[in-house]
Chains A and B, each alone.
Chain A
Amino acid sequence: MQEERGDTHWSQAISSVLQGNLCWHHRHAASRGTPQDAMTADKEKRRAISREAARRRRRVESDVFGDLSRLLPLQPSVRAHLDKPSVIRLTLSYIRLQTLLKETAGSHEELGHGARYRHGGEAQDGCLFELGKETEGLDPLDENSMYLKILEGFLMVLSTLGDMIFLSDNVSKYMGLSQTELMGHNIFEYTHPCDHEEIRHNLRLTAELGCSQKRDFVVRIKSALTHRGRVGNLKSTTWKVLHCQGRVKLCAASSSVSCVLLTCRPLPLSHTLLSTHTFTSQHSMDMRFTYCDQRVTSLLGYRPEELLGRSIYDLCHTLDTSCLNKNHLNLCLKSQSVSGRYRMLVRSGGYVWVESHSAVIPGVQPSRSRPRPNPSQPLCILCVTYILSGVEEPSLQLSLDQTFQRYLR
């Protein structure tokens, strides 16, 4: 206490000196007398005391913040760079996550049992033991990273208000921002303004209890990654199209922990096009074929040249028009899309279930010197269509095409 008082005097002296310098003009102009001086001295004293109190308060506060950040399961390198709001932000996410997991553990205990059972059960069976060893080589840490790697995306847990409660740490690979930078922030800060309505719609949980809890949508998200995969400047962010799939998790007990679990991944158009059960096609912006690869003949019966100039809407089952329409809209607005399952008519009758992954690309192949597509160039749509099923109801005639095929043969 004694020390502190001394401290106070000292700081008071310093501050009065400073004050004297600063207020010189002021006093000079007003030419104030000695009582005024006394009053200012008094004021100085009080001010110094309050300053000291504030300093102490701040010290205590930062100690608490230190405690808090030490309690968070973070790497030391990350922890060192956290500021106060971030500490609170992460604490909030952490608490929310724990609440969420507690709920989950309550409702899905059997899964945990299964896990325990696995370790016990495999030991009995010789064959399984061997297999177990193969996979046991991966510790749980590896296994998770393998999951994420195989998924080619990151996990995101969103609250009903759009707060990002959790993001898996590989998010930096997709957005260029680290897990700790993003967690606790709101998704709306990082997504395209035109997609906000759709996101909001997908976050809406109430009154849909009986309804489907699956979510499947495409959003544009900010990415600080440059073309070459380096983390660029935040100010030069680009929009990255992500396909978000997942489900709603409703907690009846406390609505604050209701959330949406999503896996977000870039659209998987960049996959190998090996299978005989896929075909590629190009379309003008109104979905008319401008190119189609040969495989379509074996899959749907159409020759590529007879498809040219025809709309993809001609080929699809009428009941699935809305599905294709949504896909088309997504393409026009977001430049990439996944159609979801729809039916395509087979030339000889009936239909097959297919799914198309498509993207808008510049119509003219850009030259190497100018890798950036010129926006004024005509665009076209590239589709990769996966065939999901065999031909269903081959005797059914659903279009004039099919009828011609049948009776003119």
Chain B
Amino acid sequence: MHHTTTAGVSTCSAALRSLHRERRFQSAGMSTGGSDSTVDKPADRAAEEEEGPIQAESTMPSVELPRKRKGEVEERQSLNFNLEDDLSRSEGEDQQVKMKCFREPHRQIEKRRRDKMNNLIDELSAMIPACQPRARKLDKLTVLRKAVQHLKALKAGASGAFADAKHKPSILPHDDLRHLLLRAADGFLLVVRCDRAKILFISESVSKILNFSKLELTGQSLFDFIHPKDIHKVKEQFSSSEMLPQQRLVDASTGLQVQAEAPVRPSHLATGARRSFFCRMKHSRVTGKHEGKHSLPAASKKKETYRYCTLHCTGYMRTWPSGQLDPEGDAADKETPSLNCLVTVCRLHPNVSHQPPKDVNVKATEFVTRCAIDGKFTFVDQQATTVIGYLPQEVLGTSCYEYFHQDDLQHMAGKHRQVLRSKEKIETQCYKFRTKHGSYVTLQSQWFSFTNPWTKEVEFIVSSNRVISGPGHTKDESEAGSSKSTQDEAQQLPDIPGLSTGVGTMIYAGSIGTQIANELSDTYRANSSPSSGASSPFGSVQEKCLLTSRSTPSREEEAGSSSTSQSQADSSKEAAESSGAPESRGDLSQLDLDVPGLSSFSSDEAAMAVIMSLLETDVNMSQSGDFEDLHWPF
């Protein structure tokens, strides 16, 4: 109930909002239309008026005024032109000037007319097979002659149909028209006697819809084929004759009751009251070949072996004077002075509207955020509030790492690095995001980085976050993720120094992003000016390591999986980067003091381990760097 209401209200307000939008658009459209017509419509319109079939413009009233204005402009232009052309004109020649400025738009009209004609001819030549190999453009006359030939051929092909309809030529042969009609309407024609509900006529197309053949149905009682619960409904339509006094018609545009329209046909085909109703009819499943062709309407009930199709029947009552037709008919017909029939078209009720109800999103399940390269939120979309509890302004400027669960930091940092270096979209695993209420919501994100095309630097990261709610669903994945991350941790332990202590995690979490960002900016620097950092020997080493580390991810991507030693080297490389990056002064003595997480290590051993690993890295890196140097000359 609650859900229904909120959904209703929200959709309702959405409807009204978009109404406003359309209103605005409409007015905008009007005005632009108006200005458009100032530019080139008037002449066009004039041309069309000349041609006969007038095309109505949507912006009729707004055209007149600009048209005058345009005339003035042209007058001035042509005036200037004439003055330049011939300076010795006297005042008396104003008449001629005026004539010229009427001729000016006329030329344009002519041109437009010609263009239109040429377009039509082009279209025509595209439709005629004889003009098909269009190596060169055919001239107008040839195209027209070919068109004449083509039409003659077509006529010859369809001669039978044309012979039929001699009395009144129409664009379409009647059989074809009927065929198209029934295709479009997706229904069948039905004539039923009102008194006995006998089916007098039913068109063949019924076989496509109800899977009964025409012969099976003709002469039968209609009620045999109608859903039992709808029989009363249909009877009601029969019983109320066209003489019914309280027949109410409501004009849709005014809401007023109006008179029934006067019959237009001659008397013996006089139409009576209109009918419009819905009923369900049996769908035969005798032959299996139509099975599944028509989707079973959800409303239909299974009874016996029949399915039911919902049909929309529209038509009218019609009376045939009995004397005119059926002179040798049975006694019952003679008793009744006239034959009341219901003539309807029954159309299969479209089943389109409730096809896509599966994606009803009553609750926001996705939100978009944008981060700077260091992971600080620069944009959070409104819907995020419903998921994470924070208002956008509460989150902006803080680092996303502050909200990640401790277990996920590794993974997220890895992905963060990855996204900064790749142009592809990066999918994260499911991770936990701390909401304002302290609980965690499981999200999965897709990240991509935006690279400024001018500076070739990554400017920000866009993340679309999907809510993966339900702990059961996420458990497997998160377990798999954590097991993987523990593996990673074994190798990447020194990666994020702030991690090793449980206490300071949140305080230092934010700096993870900063580190990663700095790595990147270092990479840029190394990239842009390779010689600048080469002053100290250590600097050069570090730079090499940065260069290689930049190249390694791509290599890894290519190779798919790398050897353990390689990955170990990588991890230690990264450690070197991550700890060394914030300084970027290339001085080792300062480096170990300023590593952000270092002071929080519980023991000196741990700190030493980190430093040792850093040193190791340097050795490794210098080696690998050398190797690379060696490789290059070959």
Interface residues of A (CB under 8 A from B): 25-26, 29, 57, 60-61, 64-65, 67-68, 71-75, 81-86, 88-89, 91-99, 101, 104, 108, 111-112, 114-115, 118, 121, 127-128, 130-131, 133-135, 137, 140-141, 143-144, 146-152, 155, 157, 166, 168-169, 179, 181, 183, 185, 189-190, 192-194, 212, 214, 216, 222, 224, 234-235, 237, 245-247, 249, 256, 261-263, 266-277, 285-287, 311-314, 316, 318-326, 328-329, 332-333, 335-336, 339-342, 353, 355, 359, 361-362, 365-366, 371, 373, 382, 384, 386-390, 392, 399-401, 403
Asked, given contacts A150-B314, A247-B184, A336-B252, whether A319 binds B357 with beta carbons under 8 Å apart, the answer is yes
Partner of A91, one of B11, B147, B182: B147
B8 touching A321 by the CB < 8 A rule? yes
Q: Measured between alpha carbons, how far is A386 from B55 in the docked complex, in Å? A: 39
Partner of A140, one of B29, B175, B252: B175
Find the A residue at minimum CB distance from B279: A388
List the 5 closest A-B pairs by CB distance, nearest first: A313-B8, A340-B353, A361-B255, A400-B1, A261-B184
A131 touching B200 by the CB < 8 A rule? yes
The A-B contact count (CB < 8 A) is 393
Residues of B close to A333: CB separation below 8 A: 19, 22
Task: Annotate B307-340 by CB proximity to A: 1 below 8 A, 0 otherwise.
Answer: 0001000111000100011101100000000010
Find the B residue at minimum CB distance from A151: B345
B215 interface residue (CB < 8 Å to A)? yes
Task: Annotate B520-540 by CB proximity to A: 1 below 8 A, 0 otherwise.
Answer: 000000000000000000000
Partner of B255, one of A64, A193, A382, A400: A382
Of B160-168, B506-514, B602-610, the stretch lying at the interface with chain A is B160-168
B350 touching A216 by the CB < 8 A rule? yes
B204 touching A114 by the CB < 8 A rule? yes
Partner of B180, one of A157, A194, A272, A329: A157
B83 interface residue (CB < 8 Å to A)? no
A134 touching B353 by the CB < 8 A rule? no
A399 touching B345 by the CB < 8 A rule? no
B551 interface residue (CB < 8 Å to A)? no
Partner of B248, one of A93, A143, A273, A403: A273
Task: Annotate B179-216 by CB proximity to A: 1 below 8 A, 0 otherwise.
Answer: 11111111001010000000011001101000000110
B68 interface residue (CB < 8 Å to A)? no
B258 interface residue (CB < 8 Å to A)? yes
B170 interface residue (CB < 8 Å to A)? yes
Within the complex, the shortest CB–CB distance from B198 to chain A, in Å, comes to 8
Q: Within B253-288, which residues are at the interface with A (CB < 8 Å)? A: 253-256, 258, 271, 273-278, 280
Asked, given contacts A150-B316, A286-B12, A341-B353, whether A91 binds B124 with beta carbons under 8 Å apart, the answer is yes
B127 interface residue (CB < 8 Å to A)? yes
Residues of B close to A88: CB separation below 8 A: 117, 120-121, 123-124
Residues of B close to A168: CB separation below 8 A: 177, 181
B244 touching A274 by the CB < 8 A rule? yes
Q: Measured between alpha carbons, how far is A256 from B128 in the docked complex, in Å? A: 12
Instruction: Report which residue of B15, B169, B207 has the largest number of chain A beta carbons within 10 angstroms of its beta carbon.
Output: B15
A392 touching B170 by the CB < 8 A rule? no
B151 interface residue (CB < 8 Å to A)? yes
Pairs across A and B, CB under 8 Å, 12 listed: A60-B141, A64-B144, A75-B169, A82-B52, A84-B117, A114-B204, A150-B316, A181-B53, A212-B352, A329-B15, A341-B299, A392-B299
Q: What 10 additional pairs, Cβ within 8 angstroms, besides A85-B116, A95-B150, A340-B352? A: A91-B124, A246-B184, A246-B186, A270-B258, A271-B274, A273-B248, A274-B240, A313-B4, A324-B11, A328-B11
Residues of B close to A335: CB separation below 8 A: 253
Asked, given contacts A245-B347, A275-B237, A325-B11, whether A91 binds B174 with beta carbons under 8 Å apart, the answer is no
Residues of B close to A382: CB separation below 8 A: 250, 252, 255
Asked, given contacts A157-B180, A273-B250, A325-B14, whether A388 binds B349 with beta carbons under 8 Å apart, the answer is yes
